[in-house]
Amino acid sequence: MLKRLLGLAPKLEADGSYSPSKVALKLATSAKTDFENISYQKYQGKKSKILAIFTEQKNMTMQNGKMFSTGNHPVEALLPMLHLKNAGFDFEIATPTGKPVIFEMWAFPSKDEHVKAIYNEYKKDFERPKKLKTFIDTSLANSESYAAVFVPGGHGAMLGIPEDQNVGKILNWAHENNLFTITLCHGPGSLLTTTLNGQKFLYEGYEMAVFPDSVDKQTPMIGYLPGHMPWALSEKLKQLGAKVVNTKSDDTVCLDRKLITGASPLASNELGKLAAKTLLKELQ
């Protein structure tokens, strides 16, 4: 009752899940982003496509049994897409089984015209994305048309995707064909797929920015999460040999070989800039 009075109680949704409290939303979300509308020298070559792998799952069951209403964080998805689109790249939107993309709409920056514009531009693709299996069957032979694979963050990126063998096949394909892999926040959970079926972790020894487990442990106190996380992403990556470069949920970004990563929603703009500039430099 006291938490509810203070605005610290997570909000109960119609399906029994919980979205962040009023205080958490005030502290962690904003109606406008820090997007910089940069005019890049647009890419003109053949490798103009980027495969974007989104989650189709909404509810994460926490250690206490409560469900967190999650999905892909809209800022973490759409700001990098804005930069890459401005740099001349286009997106194929996919989910594991072709079900619609799920966004954390409680985090949508409602007064950001740039974000709203690209969301509306790809809305039909978000509603009817490709199946990953279809992409594997039809597009793996066309690696010369692709520049990168992008996996947005949001806690929902830890649902289904880290166990999906098709994601693992695609990340291995990207690695073998010198494509970039771009991800941020909880999106690096996708990198765990490269260990499925007893394979060695593809990114052992890589430096990367990832959302800190220490912050996930603290956020239930302000009602951002309705309980503690089911598992710790940063710790799992470190155990496999990843070198996590950040300790805070800040705007840290990292480029190591063909892997481009960011630490949190606050890194979305910087990740987009780094990805756009890196792809233009490497592919021109």
Tell me the domains of the chain and their CATH numbers.
47-283 (3.40.50.880)
- If you count DSSP H runs as helices and E runs as strands, how many of each does the chain have, helices first? 10, 13
Contacts of 125 (CB under 8 A, 6+ apart): 91, 92, 93
Round to whole Å and give the CA distance between 250 and 260: 15
pLDDT tens readout for residues 87-115: 999 999 999 999 999 999 999 999 999 99
Look at strands 243-244 and 207-208 and give their pairing: parallel
**Band (8; pLDDT cuts 50, 70, 90):** confident
Tell me whether residue 185 is one of the annotated catalytic residues: yes
Tell whether the model's pLDDT for residue 248 goes beyond 70.
Answer: yes
Decide: 136 and 169 in contact? Cβ < 8 Å: yes
Token pair belonging to 113? 């015209």
Round to whole Å and give the CA distance between 204 and 182: 16
Tell me, what DSSP letter sits at residue 59?
A: E
pLDDT tens readout for residues 158-201: 999 999 999 999 999 999 999 999 999 999 999 999 999 999 99
**Band (284; pLDDT cuts 50, 70, 90):** confident
Q: Which of 107, 185, 276, 280 is catalytic?
A: 185
Tell whether the model's pLDDT for residue 22 goes beyond 80.
Answer: yes
Token pair belonging to 135? 């992409």
